[in-house]
Structure 1
Amino acid sequence: MLYLNPELDAADQAVLAGIYRRRDKVASAMRVPKRWPGLLRRNLMARAIQGSNSIEGYVVATDDAAAAVDYEEALTADEQTFAEIRGYRQALGYVLTLAQTGADVDESTLRALHFMLLGHDLGKRPGQYRTGPIYVRNDRTGDTVYEAPGSETVPALMAELVSTLTTDIDPIVAGAMAHLNLVMIHPFRDGNGRMARALQTLLVSRGGLAEPTFCSIEEWLGVNTEDYYRVLARTGPGRWSPDRDAHLWLKFSLRAHDIQSQTVERRMHRTERAWSRLDELVAAERLPERTTDALYDALIGFRIRRHGYLTRAAIDERTASRDLKALTDAALLEPRGETRARHYVAGSRLIALRATLREEVPNHITDPYPTLRSDLYLTEA
């Protein structure tokens, strides 16, 4: 027996409708041929990778996550942490491919996904179900906060879970419930949380809601980790309890989707404005059009490395050095570090533009469940 799909109330239906309207608007805007959507997709994927891994204690800068998306080396992350980031980038890439092809998800799919996630550490038995008990502990206190079902029940529970993935229900609801059931079954020795979040992204995007990179709530969960754990603890208090009502968890997931969709919509508008302003700056300084990509990354807080710039711009070393010097001379970039550690950050003119864009597209978020937040002591939207 698994956690059952709750019946949506009127408030849930209204929130769902709002998510779909916002996602449709974003998807429509992204289909119009422009130069900036690819960068927005890349950065959203990087934030999803960063968010999901931060929940597990693997904390990296967003530009290091973006480096993993681009198959580049890390700027500052240590080797072990970046191996985890690369593994999740590979797994999430597989998820996005599955979503686009519409392929069925079976147990072999989930095992393959787990292997991609943790294949760099064979000691964690990637792609194999656990064969013993497993407990979730509070890292701060050392207390056991959850005991998963016995390993002898895992194969049957996973088979039942997979059988529910083809049911004809709303994809957002399906994703939320698959997430809940997988994380509560805890079928693997490690990586269960990341697996559950990746599976949720797959089911939501496979439902045709929007492009896969716009469907993930992993960034939001990474920022709101304490709330995430709090709701899971309320839904499954200390042990496998599939007879409990999962409506609270579903509302929490809908809240996450709604707030993240607002964030994506706002980020899209800000990106479009930013790109227009950067084009104006590049034209005024008579810089090559190819420099706009690097300026956008610096504008949103990324560090720019010469190798990464020349690779993405498809130019040689001498041209890259000339471009970066011109951007520095124009106070658009500012150099940091020496030799191999040399990189560039936003210069004074980009910092001023960043402040202007924040005023023009403010970070206003409306909480779809304000009473839910107060009832559970959740952080504000």
Structure 2
Amino acid sequence: MLIATPELDADDLRVLAEIEEYRDKLRFQVRDHPKWEGQLRRSLVANAIQGSNSIENIHVSSADAAALVEGQDMSAGLDDHTRRAVEGYCDALTWVQQSAAMANFGYHEMLLSTLHFMIQSYDLGKWPGRYRTGGIFVTGRDPLTPAYTGPSPDVVPRLMVELVDWLNTGDLDAPALVRASMAHLNLVSIHPWRDGNGRMSRCLHTLVLAQDKVLAPEFSSIEEWLGDGTNTLEYYAALRTTRPTWEPEAADAHQWMRFCLRAHHLQAQTVQRRVDRARMLWGALEAVAIEHELDERVVSALYAAAVGELRRATYAKDENLTRDQSVRDLQLLRQRALIRSVGHARTQRWVADGEIAEVNEAIIAQLRGPLDEPYPS
């Protein structure tokens, strides 16, 4: 028996409708602005990788997460354990992104175990892809007192069969955000593996959204939001409140659903602001390029430097340039005091300088402000 999908009340339905409005708007905006869409998409994936792993105390910098997604070198000082952990999670999320276009997609146990193997393969001692054979106790602040006690290992295979069956046939009339939230809750509650259950459950949440096909999953994922400090504490609290032990018939998932819908609403507002920033910034940078009589392709480089860090190899790939062409472009931008270098050798990056930094800060100041709380206090 799984934890049942709760009935939504009027507030839940209103919040859900508002989220869907954001998603519909984002879908059209992203489709109509392909010039900056690719860079924004990569940054959202990097934030999801950084956020979901940070919940498990696997920490990488924003720069390293971005480098990973771009296929570039991460910091030389990053330890091997962390490097392999985030690389595995990146592989899993990349598969999730691609799954939206797979005509033969279907949920099954081996799919979930394979994704878990991708995420956890850096530590074979934790049996990646293999169900646990012992009890599971999730600890909180006090290691002597379990914050959650999972089901007996004897029933895990049966529960996973039931979960997969539900993913394929259960609650199909429910909105994708609701199904994704319940898939997340049930998998993390079954806790079928020795380790990596949280990351896998968040990955499944995103996978269900990918199969919805309304919007690319990175624009809907709440993994970044969940990994942000106070939100992580609220995430654990929502799980504890819903089910302190594995008793699905007694669990009330309504507060969990509200937690997830609120997270999706706030993340949708955040992504919308990033889209607005991308649109405004790209237009402003096009004007700068014209003013300095620069080739329009350098707008891509200026944008990357303004919103994060610009890497020569990524710029060359984005604009289909040779190494020499990309080097000349960056040297010219540096000479015009539009970008400046940080790091050196294989990890050299470029960030906004002078006029570009000022333009970027002005746009941020224009868009900055508190997010709207979707539920009444």
TM-score, structure 1 normalization: 0.91
Q: Which residue of 1 aligns with 2:130?
A: 128
Q: What secondary structure sits across from 1:35 in the alignment?
A: helix
Q: Which residue of 2 aligns with 1:182?
A: 187
Q: Aligned partner of 1:117: which letter? A: I
Q: Which residue of 1 aligns with 2:100?
A: 99
**In the alignment, is residue 357 of structure 1 matched against residue 358 of structure 2?**
no
Match of 2:203 among 160, 175, 198: 198
Alignment of 1:60-139 (within 5 A): 60-75=60-75, 77-101=78-102, 103-138=105-140
Q: What secondary structure sits across from 1:101 in the alignment?
A: coil
- The 2-side partners of 1:254 and 1:178 are apart by 14
- How far 1:83 sits from its partner (Å)? 1.3
**In the alignment, is residue 44 of structure 1 matched against residue 51 of structure 2?**
no
Where relative contact order (Cα < 8 A, 6+ residues apart) is larger, the structure is 2
Q: What secondary structure sits across from 1:146 in the alignment?
A: strand
Q: What secondary structure sits across from 1:36 in the alignment?
A: helix
Match of 2:226 among 211, 218, 221: 221
Q: What secondary structure sits across from 1:202 in the alignment?
A: helix
Alignment of 1:18-37 (within 5 A): 18-32=18-32, 34-37=34-37
Q: Which residue of 1 aligns with 2:271?
A: 264
- The 2-side partners of 1:170 and 1:285 are apart by 49
Q: What secondary structure sits across from 1:165 in the alignment?
A: helix
Q: What secondary structure sits across from 2:89 in the alignment?
A: helix
Match of 2:299 among 292, 297, 320: 292
**In the alignment, is residue 235 of structure 1 matched against residue 242 of structure 2?**
yes
- The 1-side partners of 2:191 and 2:117 are apart by 15
Alignment size in residue pairs: 369
- The 2-side partners of 1:74 and 1:129 are apart by 32
Q: Which residue of 1 aligns with 2:339?
A: 333
8 Å Cα contact 1:20/1:209 also seen in 2 = no
Match of 1:248 among 255, 260, 263: 255
8 Å Cα contact 2:99/2:210 also seen in 1 = no
Q: Which 4+ stretches in 1 moved above 6 angstroms?
A: none
Q: Percent identity?
A: 42
CA offset digits 1:2-47 (Å, max 9, x no partner): 1111100000010111111111011012222531111111111111
8 Å Cα contact 1:50/1:62 also seen in 2 = yes
CA RMSD of aligned residues (A): 1.9
- How far 1:158 sits from its partner (Å)? 0.8
- The 1-side partners of 2:30 and 2:312 are apart by 29
Q: Which residue of 1 aligns with 2:280?
A: 273
Q: What secondary structure sits across from 2:2 in the alignment?
A: coil
Match of 1:173 among 168, 178, 184: 178
- The 2-side partners of 1:342 and 1:36 are apart by 22
Q: Aligned partner of 2:92: which letter? A: A
8 Å Cα contact 1:154/1:187 also seen in 2 = yes
Q: Aligned partner of 1:204: which letter? A: L
- The 2-side partners of 1:139 and 1:317 are apart by 51
8 Å Cα contact 1:99/1:203 also seen in 2 = no
Q: Aligned partner of 2:191: which letter? A: H
- How far 1:142 sits from its partner (Å)? 6.2
8 Å Cα contact 2:85/2:119 also seen in 1 = yes
Unaligned runs of 5+ in 2: none
Q: Aligned partner of 1:100: which letter? A: A
Q: What secondary structure sits across from 2:101 in the alignment?
A: helix
8 Å Cα contact 1:209/1:215 also seen in 2 = no
CA shift in 2, pair 1:291/1:79, >3 Å? farther
CA offset digits 1:154-173 (Å, max 9, x no partner): 10111111111122122111
- The 1-side partners of 2:349 and 2:212 are apart by 41
Q: Aligned partner of 1:152: which letter? A: D
8 Å Cα contact 1:96/1:212 also seen in 2 = yes
CA offset digits 1:266-301 (Å, max 9, x no partner): 111110111111111122222333322222122113
Q: What secondary structure sits across from 2:34 in the alignment?
A: coil
TM-score, structure 2 normalization: 0.92
Q: Aligned partner of 1:333: which letter? A: I
- How far 1:61 sits from its partner (Å)? 2.0
8 Å Cα contact 1:220/1:256 also seen in 2 = yes
CA offset digits 1:316-375 (Å, max 9, x no partner): 33333322222112222112244455332221322211221013323441111242xxxx
